[in-house]
Structure 1
Amino acid sequence: MTRVPRWLLRHRVTIEPYLGSSAYGKRYGPAVADVPALVAETVKPLRNRDGREVISTAQIIAEPNLDCPAESRITLPDGRTTTAISVAHHTAPGLPVPQCTEVMAE
């Protein structure tokens, strides 16, 4: 199975993986800087994990092994900090299309 070609991932983002909540609020793992990605800042309506309709303002395509659970904090190339709404791992066994991870962010 092929992976999304790294030369297509022209942007760099920073990801702080969501670890869950505690008595003091949301907890995040250590920031992973300089993650190769392709960022499209487009507005799209979608549903979050609770089924509520929300608006995504950034779509991020990255390598298939990306560790970015929903609610992770993401710093985009322009410096804006956003939150992951949904994460999809795209695979197509037996087909000549690349594997990738798609993150929809607020």
Structure 2
Amino acid sequence: MRVPGWLLRHRVTVEPYDGDSAYGPTYRPPVEVRALVAEANKVTRNREGVEVTSTAQIITEPGLDCPPESRLTLPSGRVTKAISVANHTAPGLPVPQSTEVMCE
């Protein structure tokens, strides 16, 4: 079961992180996705395991291409970066599959 589409009330633009170049980070072309956005401060851990504060959390359909360091534009117009990405699955259980992105 996937997260119901009627819950995904926002539109978020995702520019997937593609690596670093001599001129800084590079990104793949932007993609607009439907999401549920909560702009709230929460403590999470980054890729190195260091505690950081997430200022926005995004829930989307499963399979979102959004590696950490990806650039996201929230419905408010604020541009932020992905701290961590979690794919939630529960085969056989009546809970929806989704992708959760914690943002700076």
Tell me if TM exceeds 0.5. Answer: yes
Q: TM-score, normalised by structure 1?
A: 0.95
- What is the distance in 1 between the residues matched to 2:84 and 2:98? 14
Sequence identity of aligned pairs in percent? 73
Q: Which amino acid aligns with 1:4?
A: V
What is the distance in 1 between the residues matched to 2:103 and 2:62? Answer: 17
CA distance in 2, matches of 1:90, 1:57: 20
> What corresponds to 1:21 in structure 2?
20
When structure 1 is superposed on structure 2, of 19-28 and 7-16 the one drifting more is 19-28
Q: Deviations over 1:14-60 (max 9, x none)?
A: 00000111111101000112x10000011011110112221100000
Is 2:39 the partner of 1:41? yes
> Partners of 1:13 and 1:72 in 2: how far apart?
12
Aligned length: 104
**Which residue of structure 2 aligns with residue 81 of structure 1?**
79
* 1:42-90 per-position Cα deviation (integer Å, ceiling 9, x unaligned): 1011110112221100000000021111100000000000000000000
Q: Name the SS of the counterpart of 1:26 in structure 2.
A: strand
Q: Where does structure 1 lack aligned partners over 5 or more consecutive residues?
A: none
Q: How does 1:1-106 map to 2 (within 5 A)?
A: 2-33=1-32, 35-106=33-104
Gaps (5+ residues) in structure 2? none
Q: Under a length normalisation based on structure 2, what TM-score does the superposition of the two structures give? A: 0.97
